[in-house]
Amino acid sequence: MDVSKALERCGGAARRPALTWLGVDDAALRRAVRGGVLQPERGLYALPTASPELVAVLRNRELLTCSSAASHHSLWCLSSAGPRHVYHRRHAAVSGEAVHHAGLLLPPSQLRPVAALADVLIHALRCLPLAESLVMVESAVSRGDMTVEFLRQRLPGRRNGKARAVLDWVDRGADSLLETLARTYFRQAGISVQPQAYLERVGYVDLLLDGWLVVELDGRHHADWKQVKKDHRRNNESVLQGYTALRYYYSDVVYSPQSMVNEVLAVLRRRRR
């Protein structure tokens, strides 16, 4: 395989074993270096456009994990900002302010310095707050790449009690991390929640609370006007059928969840009275 194409498959930079696995030989690497491919150190090769963070991870012989590996496994993630989360077989070798995670269950990716999905999720469950680890786990479970039982069996003992408690909130069928979070916050408040409920002449709604309160969630920053009109008509139809409809946005669910829950509780109490 062409060296540049091989490096692209590896994300822009790679060590010699990954390139060998892709069929790149030493002669091709020497030609590539003469042609402009970078060699930050012996055995490490990178395209000029490679991410400096990726090069740093490879240089330090680390593996990305936890929230830092979420995008590599196409997982929902609230934030990948902040210090890098990594695994290294020697804790003392972890560079800078990176967060070190111990232990691997499975072999990592052959092409990129990224821990296996199971290890990424286990590290997240042990490390991150409930909301952040929950959305990562649920995205993997919902698409069938992971099971709650597999993770629970690998989190034994009292020291993993907090991680196992997160798994109690995992459900399937959510279309987005907003649905996962809102559903969980409402259930924690003691509200009956039916995700992806179907209403005649309306279609599927994100959440149906107590059988009559529709909650729709919108993560769009710049909504398409046609979609906005469609959403409004859906809301109107649900009201005509006797439902009450509320709509919340990314900032409500992620940054002001308690205010959202308080509003919903106020509406539910009024109907119950």
Per-residue pLDDT tens digits for 188-219: 999 999 999 888 888 899 999 999 999 999 87
CATH number among 3.40.960.10, 1.10.287.110, 2.40.110.20, 3.40.50.300, domain 177-272: 3.40.960.10
pLDDT of residue 81: 79
Predicted confidence (pLDDT) per residue in 86-106, tens digit: 999 776 666 678 899 999 999
Q: Would you state the pLDDT for residue 231?
A: 73
**How many residues are recorded in the chain?**
273
pLDDT, tens digit, for every residue of 143-187? 999 999 999 999 999 999 999 999 999 998 788 999 999 999 999
Q: Which long-range contacts (CB under 8 A, 24 or more apart) does 189-195 make?
A: 189/261, 189/264, 189/265, 191/264, 191/265, 191/268, 195/171
Distances (CA, A) of 162 to 97, 133, 168, 230: 25, 11, 10, 42
Q: Is 152 exposed, middle or buried (0-12, 13-18, 19+ CB in 10 A)?
A: middle
SS3 percent helix, strand, coil of the chain, rounded to 5, is 50, 15, 35
The domain limits of the chain are 3-49, 63-167, 177-272
pLDDT band at 234 (very low <50, low <70, confident <90, very high): confident
Whole-prediction pTM: 0.89
Instruction: State the number of CA atoms in the 13 A half-sphere of 79 facing the CB.
Output: 8
Residue 227 predicted with pLDDT over 80: no
Whether the predicted pLDDT of 232 surpasses 80:
no
